[in-house]
Structure 1
Amino acid sequence: MSEIVLYDYWRSSAAYRVRIALELKGVPFVRAPVNIAQGEQHGADFAALNPQHLVPALAIDGHVLTQSLAIIDYLDAKYPDPPMVSADPVERSRTLAQALTIAADIHPLDNLRVLAYLRERLGQDDAAVATWYRHWIAEGFAALETAAPAEGLFGGAAPNMADVCLVPQMANARRFDTPLGAYPKLVRIDAALRALPAFERASPDAVGPPA
């Protein structure tokens, strides 16, 4: 069986999600770092893997998969233990909605290419960009805080897809000095998750920046 290769960037929250899922499921993989801060995602070799020029991409079973939640869905189908979504249709829908609040509503507005457009094309300074960043995190976190359980994780006793999405977004929030006092349940869940070995191994601090 050929090795599983994750094309990622250490601080990409989308790639971070996939690393967490792989670690939770105990799937061996090797990293192929793509330095998006230096534009390596626009090189011909990586563009041939992912025409969107985005990380992550996962080479697995003779295929190259893209989009973090689509990759996690594939992993969940191939390696069902532990599950990332419930078999119950209502609970599955709720988990996906929570995950998409981050992956579809917060993250795309705060992605590297959007921030670069704000700076380079619209002439916004770092302070304005940071204000933009924090605004969209606050919008999404307010909704997630309401949906978060009073005890336990989003997945109850074990992490689910919403938990996998939360930790990278919380890391982004802290990196941009986003006030988190209004989200005590999210802070609690994030702290509990980051203490788990799989989350520790997948963290940007563990994988480190490109050499």
Structure 2
Amino acid sequence: MAEAGAAAPAPAARLRLYSYWRSSSAHRVRIALNLKGVEYEYKAVNLLKGEQSDPEFMQVNPMKFVPALVDGETVIGESFAIALYLEDKYPERPLLPQDLKMKALNLQIASIVCSGIQPLHNLTVLRFIEQKVGTGESLPWTQQQIDRGFTAAENLIKGCAGKYATGDEVQLADVFLAPQIFSAVTRFQVNMSNYPTLARLHDEYMKHPAFQAALPDRQPDAPSST
């Protein structure tokens, strides 16, 4: 019990998320924060205007990538690391199962997305392809990378998926798959009939409030929001 006259403890500062509305990496973190029920301050970084190279943001993330999460003196500039940090800090709504096999599957799918698909078609890669290979060449490149990753993910989960990727509860695999499938459908003209399990999951994600709130066009820096 606090002594009479003692100052009340200061409320914990809200987390700050540096994000760009269309970034699928930032999209993952928004979903995780929503699922955990964590309030945060949204700090927009316009990648098309080069704001990731502003000295102020480079102090936050020298790699000049979004997302970046600031929690007091803790600064994390990579979506996988952010997701695991949130998992440890807010364990009440777990995103990783206790079963070691299913936990490994969730981590594997998340790794496929964040290492084997998304970096191969991020903005800097697409610009390089357009400049060095030719106009219009970035789309078939992107489709090829998504196809390879989606084929692997489809085969990994088709025998164990329930309502969601690895069962009937939303878990880490869903946090990473949802933005990648969304961008494949809305931006990169990927034929999802080749991936029936992933296509069904996409329909489920679009119904879930935490996923809906994280959608790109619902962010404060989306063109339709301003």
* Alignment TM class, shorter chain as reference: over 0.9
The residue that corresponds to 1:8 in the other structure is 19
**1:129 correspondence with 2:138:** yes
Task: Tell me, in whole angstroms, the C-alpha distance in 2 between the residues paired with 1:147 and 1:89.
Answer: 16
Greater C-alpha radius of gyration: 2
**1:156 correspondence with 2:197:** no
**1:182 correspondence with 2:194:** yes
Offset of residue 78 of structure 1:
0.4
Superposition pairs of residues 84-103 of structure 1, within 5 angstroms: 84-103=95-114
Task: Tell me, in whole angstroms, the C-alpha distance in 2 between the residues paired with 1:53 and 1:133.
Answer: 22
Offset of residue 171 of structure 1:
1.4
Task: Tell me, in whole angstroms, the C-alpha distance in 1 between the residues paired with 2:79 and 2:52.
Answer: 16
Amino acid at match of 1:18: V
Give TM-score, length-normalised by structure 1.
0.95
Give structure 1 stretches of 5+ with no counterpart. none
CA deviation digits over 1:42-86, x for unaligned, max 9? 111101110000000001132111110100100000001321112
- Between the two proteins, the alignment pairs up a number of residues equal to 209
Structure 1 segments (4+ residues) deviating >4 Å: none
CA-based RMSD of the aligned residues comes to: 1.3
Q: Percent identity?
A: 37
**1:196 correspondence with 2:208:** yes
CA deviation digits over 1:103-146, x for unaligned, max 9? 110011011111111123x14212x1100000100001011111
The residue that corresponds to 1:109 in the other structure is 120
Contact 2:182 2:202 in 1 (8 A): no
The residue that corresponds to 2:79 in the other structure is 68
User: Which has more helix, going by share of residues?
Assistant: 1
